[in-house]
Amino acid sequence: METPVIDELTEEIIANKENVPVIGASLIPLVLRAQGIEVVPSLQGGQIMPTMDRVSRVLDQVFFKTEQGLAFAVLGMAKVSQRPQVGIVTSGPGGLNTVTALADATRDCAPVGMIAGQVPQDAIGTDAFQGTDITEVVAPVTKSARLIENLDQLLTSIPKDLAHAAGGRPGSVLWDLPKDVQFQPIELQDYRDKIESYETYLEKPALDTEALDRAIDLLYTSNSPIIMAGYGLSLANVWDEFHALLELTKLPVVHTLPGKSAVLSSYQYNLGMLGMHGLYPASAAAYGSDFILSLGARYDDRAVGNPQSFAPQAQDRVALVHVDTEKTQFQKSRDLTSSKLNVLGDAGDVVRYLLDHLDPKRLKIDAWHKQIEQWQKENPPPPSAHHKKECLDVIHVLESLNRVTAESHPDKVVVTDVGNHQMWSSQRIHTTGPRSFVTSAGIGTLGSGISQAIGAQLVAPDRLVVAVEGDEGFYSCGPELRTAARYRLPIKVLVINNGGQCIVRQWTTHMFGGNDVGVIDHIDGVSDMDFVANAASYGVAGEKVSLKSEIIPAMERMLATDGPYVVECMVPHEDCYPWIKPGSGFPEIISGNQ
């Protein structure tokens, strides 16, 4: 049939009214807008051009320099907004370059959708240029991967798959969009009334109140209870209710790495992160506890360590309470499975139920509080090995960031890359509100920091976003500074330059006889990479500091700058403590205070 041109019905879709045909791709911005999508990270390419053209006429697009950077930005957007977010890439290498971020989103429970272009359907399987069976590639690491064969399927799958991405234990979805479907001529009237929202399909499991009542009974008979706060609390959006529960009960809290932003740092009984690089009081409390209520945490290996020496009293009482929205997660706790009381339900529903049904007068925790206070007094966070020297150190950088932003930016978002700076950040950065700490936790993707910070800034334009970036991670995501400059996104980047992969070097030094293979980026003992000059080449201002006396003035200049800014922090290599080596438990902790 003859391709219809623009009329009054398409006025809201395409601003240009001259000779722009209404095709299948014209539906995509309408469908995305119905899902609440306002900004679409994108990277242009041959098989996705029709969609890019139509989306650009309706929605805001931010064009990235790499598909990896784009996909991690979508991840940052989803984590900070707590809503599904969607990116668009082309076929072949376009989709393939998003695989790690899609896996990261699924592991870290972020609702991410990716539209990938595809060759026309009659060319699929013929080794056509940039044709790749991307759905088969990403199927193991996504919640859904779908080839879109027609427009009716396009209209129904995007909202339903996004609901799937956001529901239960959130994760990523991908749509493989052939070029012939994008180019298909349509009558818009035939499709407008079929557009739906993902929220129509959102479901969550009914709360297992019987199991939760058993957990409450165990809590009443406990002498040393703790809450383990995980990322599920952030997903449940119950910041106020959770802190009301803490004020009511005075229960001690430990948190996982991604669960850091679920609880105020200033809460008196927030003991900090537990596990491999957790603070001593947190890991000690977990070890000595006879009741652990895990809210949105899954007893993962980094938190638990050696299962045989994790909370032995709680294991004996079958008092490891595991709250989760998906039954499949209950069987993934390895040797702890038989020691758990599983509660199916949303963490937010559990918090609200506890507020309504828990009697704080029946809790017996006064002696437990005294024990915890003793641990806190005797085993504070260990100082840097260089804390008495004039040279800058990582801990001083992070604590300076706390001081500089305490009053001016209490709602800041701190995004980290992966490495020891990530562990120190989890120990030292102050959280003052919801969704204030973003990091790649489950997959641990080096090179995701700056991109996630850009995503955070896109959905939170009025919040200060600071990326704590490692020198090695910078090499993978540094090019996206050009994206920040191009779109005037005022992210602030602290590059922790210690000349190599600090966290891996700690392992090679202490576990592999000092064979520091592949982890040092020095030439004749000197790191000669100029990160400030590199940032300047992308159009981003910055400066380099190496002394403690220089860092706060540099941060003040950073905050006073309207656009993106990089501060390169020259610090010596040092190990991150406390440390529980892989396969070990709390009895083997190296506190770092000796």
SS3 sequence of 400-447: HHHHHHCCCCCCCEEEECCCHHHHHHHHHCCCCCCCCEECCCCCCCCC
The residue written with tokens 């009960």 in the block is 249
Residue bearing tokens 């992210």: 491
Q: pLDDT, tens digit, for every residue of 310-360? A: 999 999 999 999 999 988 888 887 788 888 999 999 999 999 999 999 999
Q: Which helix (H) or strand (E) holds 50?
A: helix 49-56
The yes-or-no verdict on residue 587 having pLDDT over 90 is yes
List pLDDT tens digits, range 188-201. Answer: 888 878 899 999 99
CATH of domain 394-570: 3.40.50.970
**Cβ-Cβ contacts under 8 Å for 560 (sequence gap 6 or more):** none
Higher pLDDT, 64 or 508: 64
Run of H or E including 483:
helix 481-486
Gap between the Cα atoms of 98 and 94, Å rounded? 7
Token representation of residue 594: 């000796």
The CA distance from 146 to 235, in Å, is: 25
pLDDT digits 0-9 by tens, 56-67: 988 999 999 999
- Give the integer Cα–Cα distance in Å for 314 and 319: 5
pLDDT category of residue 526 using cuts at 50, 70 and 90: low
Reported pTM: 0.94
Pairwise CA distance, residues 303 & 80, whole Å: 23
Tell me how far apart the alpha carbons of residues 439 and 73 are, in angstroms, rounded to a whole number: 12
In which residue are the tokens 């990235």 written?
A: 64
DSSP code of 466? E
Locate 434 and state its tokens.
């919801």
Tell me the per-residue pLDDT of 158-172, one tens digit each, with 9 for 90 and over: 999 999 999 999 999
CA nearest to 527, candidates 551, 546, 549: 546
Q: Is the pLDDT of residue 523 over 70?
A: no
pLDDT at 16: 47
pLDDT at 18 over 70: no
pLDDT digits (tens, 9 = 90+) for 121-153: 999 898 889 889 999 999 999 999 999 999 999
Span 415-422, mean pLDDT? 95
Phi first, then psi, for residue 379 (nearest 5°) are: -135, 65
Q: Which of 343, 316, 339 is nearest to 329 (CA)?
A: 343
User: 115: buried, middle or exposed (CB in 10 Å: 19+, 13-18, 0-12)?
Assistant: buried
Single out the residue of 436, 463, 505, 454 nearest to residue 255, CA to CA.
Answer: 436
Do residues 221 and 240 lie in contact, with contact meaning Cβ atoms separated by under 8 Å? no
Give CATH 3.40.50.1220 domain extents, the chain: 209-378
Domain with CATH 3.40.50.970 in the chain: 8-200, 394-570
Phi and psi at residue 147, to the nearest 5°: -85, 125
Q: Helices marked H in 202-340 — which ranges?
A: 209-220, 231-235, 239-249, 280-288, 301-304, 312-316
Classified by CATH at the fold level, domain 209-378 comes out as: Rossmann fold (3.40.50)
Counting beta carbons within 10 angstroms of the beta carbon of residue 291, is it exposed (0 to 12), middle (13 to 18) or buried (19 or more)? Answer: buried
Residue 581 has pLDDT above 60, yes or no: yes
Q: How are the residues of the chain apportioned to helix, strand and coil, as percentages rounded to the nearest 5?
A: 45, 15, 40
Which pair of structure tokens corresponds to residue 251?
Answer: 């229960």
* pLDDT at 15 (0 to 100): 46
Rounded CA-CA distance 400/394 in Å is: 10
| CA separation for the pair 369, 402 (Å, rounded) | 27
State mean pLDDT over 393-408.
97
Q: Smallest Cα–Cα separation from 82: which of 220, 199, 248?
A: 199
Furthest-apart CA atoms within the chain: distance in Å? 81
Identify the pLDDT of residue 507: 84
Going from the C-alpha of 546 to that of each of 46, 390, 569, 572, the distances in angstroms are 46, 9, 6, 10
- pLDDT value, residue 11: 52
Q: Where are the alpha helices (DSSP H) in 144-261?
A: 151-166, 179-183, 209-220, 231-235, 239-249
Cβ distance 225 to 250 under 8 Å?
A: no
Q: Residue 191 corresponds to which tokens in the numbers above?
A: 């499709």
The 8-class DSSP code of residue 590 comes to: B
What pLDDT is recorded for position 486?
98
* Mean per-residue pLDDT, 106-124: 96
Q: What average pLDDT does the chain have?
A: 93
User: What's the distance, Cα to Cα, between the start and end of the chain in Å?
Assistant: 80
CA distance 7 to 18: 10
Given its phi and psi angles, is residue 263 left (phi above 0), alpha (psi -120 to 50 degrees) or beta? beta
SS (H, E, C) 497-520: ECCECHHHHHHHHHHCCCCCCCCE
Instruction: Tell whether the model's pLDDT for residue 4 goes beyond 50.
Output: no
Q: Give the CATH superfamily of 8-200.
A: Thiamin diphosphate (ThDP)-binding fold, Pyr/PP domains (3.40.50.970)
Answer whether residue 22 shows pLDDT above 90.
Answer: no
Say if residues 108 and 441 touch (Cβ distance below 8 Å): yes
- Token digits of residue 515: 């064979």
The residue type found at 526 is V
Burial environment of residue 533 by CB neighbours within 10 A (0 to 12, 13 to 18, 19 or more): exposed
525 band by pLDDT with thresholds 50, 70 and 90: low
The crossing angle, in degrees rounded to 10, of helices 420-428 and 502-511 is 110
Q: Can you spell out the DSSP letters for 106-135? A: HHTT--EEEEEEE--GGGTTTT-TT---HH
- 445-483: b (≥16 Cβ within 10 Å) or e: bbbbbbbbbbbbbbbbeebbbbbbbbbbbbebbbbbbbb
